[in-house]
Amino acid sequence: MSQKLAGKVAVITGGSTGIGLAAAKLFVAEGAYVYITGRRQAELDAAVKDVGKNITAVQGDVAKGEDLDRLYAQVKKEKGRVDVVFANAGIGELMPLEAVTPEHYEKIFGVNVRGLLFTVQKALALMPDGGSVVLTGSVAGIRGNASFSVYSATKAAVRSFARTWTSDLKDRKIRVNVVSPGPIDTPILEPIPKEAVAGFIAQVPMGRIGRAEEVANAALFLASDDASYITGTEIFVDGGSGQV
C-alpha cells in the first residue's frame, strides 16, 4: 500500500502535543518530512523523540511574525518547499461576555486568527501549485456555548478563511479545507473547568470524548490526494455534536 504523503514536506503548527503531535506521527508514517512548531521547547523536544524520525522542531509562537519567518527560512534552507500546511495551533479560554477584556480578545484572536492567517500566507512562497492547506476549526464555530464567545468567533473566522482562500488560490490549485473537532482529549482542555468539559461531552451523540488520532486521520485525508476534489469545505470530527 502506497504512503499517502510520500516525499511531501509538511508544516504543522501546534505540533508538540494533542492533535498536532498525533498528526505529526501520522504524516511521518505516511511518508512526509514534518516540521512542527510550538512555544515550549521541552514539549517540542519530547515530540521529536516520540516521533523518532523525519521530523524537525522549530520553537516559535504563531502570533509573532518574526517566529513564522524564522520557521519558513529554515524550511526553505533545508527542504526548499512546503507541500502541506496544517495550521493547527490554537488556544481557548472560557470567559463570560461581561468579563471579556481587550487582553483576552487579543490573546485568542492573536493565535487563532492572526497567527493562522500568517502561517498560511508566509508558506505560499514555498508552496508548489497543487499544495494542500488544512486549518483547525472547531464545532464551537457553529455552536453557541456560553462563555465561549471569543473562541467561537475565532473558529467561525477560520471557516470563512477556507472559503475565501479557496477562491484566492484556485489558479494555483492549492486546496484549503477545515477539520473541526468536537471535545477532544488533549491539553487544550486542561484550563477549562471539569464541569464545563463534562457539559461539552454530554452534547456528543456518540457519548464520549474524541481522541487526537481521530482528528489526525481527517487531517491526513484532507492533506492527501484522497481529497483531490475537495476544497473550501469543513469536516467535523465531533461525534455528531454539531450535526444533530
| Beta bridge partners of residue 74, listed in sequence order | none
Main-chain dihedrals φ then ψ at residue 86, nearest 5 degrees: -110, 95
The candidate with the shortest Cα–Cα distance to 140, out of 207, 200, 62, is: 200
For CA atoms 204, 209, 212, 213, the dihedral sign is: negative
Q: Domain span at residue 34?
A: 9-237
pLDDT score for 192: 80
The C-alpha atoms of residue 44 and residue 65 are separated, in whole angstroms, by: 19
40-54 residue pLDDT tens: 999 999 999 999 999
91-105 residue pLDDT tens: 999 999 999 999 999
pLDDT score for 194: 87
The candidate with the shortest Cα–Cα distance to 24, out of 59, 50, 6, is: 50
Q: Among this protein's residues, is 151 annotated catalytic?
A: yes
Does some domain include residue 75?
A: yes
Residue 240, sorted as left (phi over 0), alpha (psi -120 to 50) or beta, turns out to be left
How many domains, in total, are found in the chain? 1
Q: CATH no. for residue 222?
A: 3.40.50.720
The C-alpha atoms of residue 139 and residue 121 are separated, in whole angstroms, by: 24
Does some domain include residue 55?
A: yes
Torsion angle of the four alpha carbons 182, 183, 185, 186, in this order, in degrees rounded to the nearest 10: 80
Q: Which amino acid appears at position 103 of this protein?
A: E
Choose the catalytic residue: 35, 105, 151, 229. Answer: 151
Please give the mean pLDDT across all residues of the chain: 96
Does some domain include residue 244?
A: no
- Residue 1 in this model has a pLDDT that exceeds 80: no
pLDDT score for 189: 83
Does some domain include residue 98?
A: yes
The C-alpha atoms of residue 124 and residue 83 are separated, in whole angstroms, by: 10
